[in-house]
Amino acid sequence: MTNLNIHPSAIIDKTSNISKNVEIGANVIIGANVTIGEKTKILANAIIENNVTIGANCHIYYGAVIGSKSQDLKSDDGESFVIIGDNNTIREYATINRASKNGQKTIIGNNNLIMTYSHIAHDCIIGNNNIFSNSVNLAGHVIVENNAVIGGLTGVHQFCRIGEFAMIGGLTRVNKDVLPYFITVGSSAKIEGLNIIGLKRANFDRENILLLQRVFDEILIKNPTLNLFLEKLDEFKKTKEILNLKKFLKDSKRGVITF
């Protein structure tokens, strides 16, 4: 393969598909059936294992490992995948595992920042515009919606879901679903308030922010049961955000973190 942007020490499987203007650094290893989109940069010592698709304009830093086999002891030996979208930044030594079962996928959307030493386990589904701070660890089958911020050294239990525009403080232990729009913090995690700064930065209008603040003041601070939470939400104006909260609660399988 002749390409001035590929370091001669890189090892690239002949079945891989490397697009134009891709930069590949020293000692990078790229396995079988890998696709790399245009203008993606892969820095030295990164490893892209088998069955990985990476979109355009991604930046993968030193020593990251993407597509390694699931650490689930129940995983089979079938063909599983990692699918990564466009404009993602994956920092040093982050790890992303393939799905655990034949034909399944670990999926990461677009415009995510995944910082150093973070781990995304098998079968996770990550949306768009999320920020994972250093050493965030997601167990298997975790879902992260869009525009969430997860603080450093946070651990997320398998099958948990993190809602859109959620903010999770550093060192938080997440063992239930994390509500959208609110700030969740602590080793015994609880909601501490509305993610006002995040919502303002996302251009939420004042009326919707005030409505979500009422949800915190009138419902969440009383630490309701799931059924009571849903009942109380019926008393609020049916905005997109309120309807999304109701759907999130109805879809929850692990229960949600509250006050």
Task: Tell me the per-residue pLDDT of 32-60, one tens digit each, with 9 for 90 and over.
Answer: 999 999 999 999 999 999 999 999 999 99
Residue type, 161: R
Out of 63, 123, 127, 163, pick the active-site residue.
123
Mean pLDDT, each 10-residue run in order, the chain (259 residues):
80 97 98 98 98 98 98 93 99 98 98 99 98 98 98 98 98 98 97 97 97 98 94 97 98 95
Which domains does the chain carry?
11-141 (2.160.10.10)
pTM of the model: 0.97
Using the Cα atoms of residue 206, residue 129, residue 102 and residue 120 in order, give the sign of their dihedral: negative
How high is the pLDDT of residue 77?
84
What's the rounded Cα separation, in Å, for the pair 26 and 7? 5
234 is an active site residue: no
Out of 37, 127, 140, 163, pick the active-site residue.
140
Out of 122, 151, 163, 177, pick the active-site residue.
122
DSSP 8-state secondary structure symbol assigned to residue 220: G
186 is an active site residue: no
151 is an active site residue: no
How high is the pLDDT of residue 1?
45
Using the Cα atoms of residue 154, residue 85, residue 96 and residue 21 in order, give the sign of their dihedral: negative
Q: Which residues contact 181 (CB under 8 A, 6 or more apart)?
A: 163, 164, 165, 166, 194, 195, 199, 212, 241, 245
